[in-house]
Amino acid sequence: MSGDCAWQWDAWVDRAVSELASKRLLRSTRPISFDPTTDDDTTFQTFETFDRPGPWDRSSVEVAVDGPTFHQWLADLPSSSPEANSENENENEKAQKMVLFSGNDYLGLSSHPAVRQAASKAALHYGMGPRGSALICGYTNYHRLLELSLARLKHKDHCILCPTGFAANMAFLTALASIASLLSPLPKPTPLDRIAIFSDELNHASIIDGIRLAERQTEAKVFVYRHSDMLHLDSLLSSCSMRMKVVITDSLFSMDGDFAPLPELVELRKKHGFLLAIDDAHATLVCGENGGGAGEYFGCEKEIDICIGTLSKAVGCHGGFIATSKRWKSLIQSRGRSFIFSTTIPVPVVAASLAAISVGRRERWRRRAIWRRVQDFYSLSGLPISSPIISIVVGTEEAALSASRHLLKSGFHVTAIRPPTVAPNSCRLRITLSAAHTVDDIKKLVATLSPWITTLNSNLLEFSKL
């Protein structure tokens, strides 16, 4: 199949949108503007930035757990030490301070003064804002400006906000599946006229659930390819006779910390003409000179048709988004169920997100800092890591919980990841680095992790000999 078929997607979506318009089912948002005498568009763009970390940054990685909760937590976790389980839970009622290595606030923006001020100002002026779905009364000039900011960040023409990143994937995939029925002259599309969705086997749960819903609508057929295996994907694409093909993948996988091979996917896109959609949740603001994400990092932003993301990771706030073209935005607003039937993001959160994106783009030292921490961890541990997400697989649930317990007692908040999040016997410690961490933090963490790092390095060495 020729790569020219990729451009047919524009025609298919245009036809689907025209069909909705002819039936008067096309929906659009109408922003509610707040009092222009107290706020205008220019105030959203003026945020104080800094050229180095401030005391507020540390609060994004330093946490405390009250004494009784901490000891109960320890008691609930297994230990290989017989005396550990007989510890006096009332020994220390004071709060236990820990360094957080399990959050997703990669740049430390959640505590930035500009983000705090933007949220508090909006809350004081407008409360939570008009509460309703975006298509009824929940869409404001704050939401519109955030969409414009995200579209610029992702080098797309348009953007649509969703309540969460999970909802964003669900909205895109249900809208995608609806194209088949909108274009079909029959009550139900024929097998060849359905949407063929090709999904990486380690994609996020929100993608998987969105695909399942699309499948239940009988408007999509799903093909799962082995993780980042482009030969397998190429084979599946070549043997598929369906016209409308879509490949969707995480850009940076949240449980393994590896990147999808985007340059290779772009080459396959040229060959097979599929629509390329990525979930850029963990790469947005983290990767690329300007924080544009994995597309900017690999130099292929223009070849990515749909960029789905979240405001709950490096943005440090809450919500989801889909950056794409005007035609796709029109379709998703009219057919994306999780967008249509959800109350929109509260105005203070939107204002905070707008500030965080502006600050995150301008304070480039934050991206340099987090990647230095990645290099520090690699240099000290020898583990072949490629991102701020570090996965140390320890095996059984008991082993992972015991390791987490050891870290807690050592002053590190790292939660064990177990099924159903990961497969049985692949339980792990998922460590996430932040620009707010220091070199000393990394040194102490690596020293605490040394028994598991030594085992993991030994296993990697044995594997390399096979």
pLDDT at position 89 over 50: no
Q: Are 317 and 356 in contact (CB under 8 A)?
A: yes
Q: What is the overall mean pLDDT for the chain?
A: 91
Q: Are 365 and 51 in contact (CB under 8 A)?
A: yes
pLDDT at position 169 over 60: yes
What ranges make up the beta strands (E) of 383-426? Answer: 389-395, 412-413, 416-417
pLDDT at position 44 over 70: no
Confidence at residue 399, expressed as pLDDT on a 0 to 100 scale: 92
Task: For domain 56-107+364-465, say whether CATH 3.90.1150.10 is its number.
Answer: yes
- Mark out the alpha helices in 220-317 (DSSP H runs): 230-238, 262-272, 294-298
Confidence at residue 72, expressed as pLDDT on a 0 to 100 scale: 85
Q: Backbone phi, then psi, for 249, in 5-degree steps?
A: -155, 150
Where in the chain are the domains? 56-107+364-465, 113-362
Among 32-36, 118-122, 239-243, 376-380, where is mean pLDDT lowest?
32-36
pLDDT at position 411 over 60: yes
Determine if the pTM surpasses 0.85: yes
Neighbours of 35 (CB within 10 A): 9
- Beta-carbon contacts of 288 under 8 Å, excluding residues fewer than 6 positions away, are 294, 295, 296, 297
Among 42-46, 111-115, 185-189, 198-202, where is mean pLDDT lowest?
42-46
pLDDT at position 40 over 60: no
The CATH label, of 3.40.640.10, 1.10.3720.10, 1.10.10.60, 3.90.1150.10, for the domain at 113-362 is: 3.40.640.10
Whether the CA torsion 391, 396, 398, 402 is positive or negative: it is negative
Report the run of H or E that residue 399 belongs to, with start and end.
helix 397-409
In the predicted model, what is the mean pLDDT of residues 165-191? 94
Confidence at residue 187, expressed as pLDDT on a 0 to 100 scale: 86
The upper half-sphere exposure of residue 139, i.e. CA atoms within 13 Å in the direction of its Cβ, equals: 18
